[in-house]
Chain A
Amino acid sequence: ETGVTQSPTHLIKTRGQQVTLRCSSQSGHNTVSWYQQALGQGPQFIFQYYREEENGRGNFPPRFSGLQFPNYSSELNVNALELDDSALYLCASRPDRSSYNEQFFGPGTRLTVL
């Protein structure tokens, strides 16, 4: 148990729709990151938030956006869904002044785009 939860577990959407995925981190974990993991691949970094501000972004288009809230919850929003967006979406958090390499991942949300 990492103390990081995600909802929903599974989600099915159609192309062009919008989706919001949610993550709840441990108290005190002010850094949260989101990753996309395609089948058979390692997780790919989408973006990172620290104290409610985005402070890093991977190679993903602007239709991937996020929010972080003061209660250690966060959201990943994806607009105009494409078939290639089908993947496992993971959030990860860590407390301040901890090893950057030790992050706590949630179980993920499996998104299927039809």
Chain B
Amino acid sequence: LAKTTQPISMDSYEGQEVNITCSHNNIATNDYITWYQQFPSQGPRFIIQGYKTKVTNEVASLFIPADRKSSTLSLPRVSLSDTAVYYCLVGPLMDTGRRALTFGSGTRLQVQP
């Protein structure tokens, strides 16, 4: 499984754009990049998933360069409620015998007023 590396923590202020970068140098051809958000004392929540270039939904954007060795989760105009831990995961789209989502330690985002 591809290993991911992301910053331990980040600080921001309300209204700013936050970009969290994840490195995954050993990503396989059939791997997708997925991001989860976790609030304190809650389960992780799927945010966004992509394979290449750019994906955007109502919550975030995901930028993936051509070599796919890294990805950037972009949160536009964050608010206090975006304070959470963000996890970057890498793996195939369908279950190919790999049975687990592999979480690292994530990035703890703290949004200040």
Find chain B residues with CB under 8 A from A58 CB.
100
Is the beta-carbon distance between B43 and A90 smaller than 8 angstroms?
yes
Interface string of B85-113 (1 = CB under 8 A from A): 00101011111001111111110000000
Using C-beta atoms within 8 Å of the partner chain, give the interface range for chain A: 20 to 34
Is the beta-carbon distance between A43 and B103 smaller than 8 angstroms?
yes
Cβ-defined partner of B43 (8 Å) among A45, A55, A108: A108
Interface size of B by CB at 8 A reads 25
Chain B binding surface, main DSSP class: loop
**A62: CB under 8 A from chain B?**
no
Is the beta-carbon distance between A100 and B94 smaller than 8 angstroms?
yes
From B32, B42, B99, B104, residue with most partner A Cβ within 10 Å: B99
Is the beta-carbon distance between B41 and A45 smaller than 8 angstroms?
no
Selecting from B14-22, B44-52, B67-75, the interface stretch reads: B44-52
Instruction: Point out residues on B near A: beta carbons under 8 Å.
Output: 32, 34, 41-46, 49, 87, 89, 91-95, 98-106
Instruction: Point out residues on A near B: beta carbons under 8 Å.
Output: 2, 4, 33, 35, 40-45, 48, 55-58, 88, 90, 92, 99-108, 110
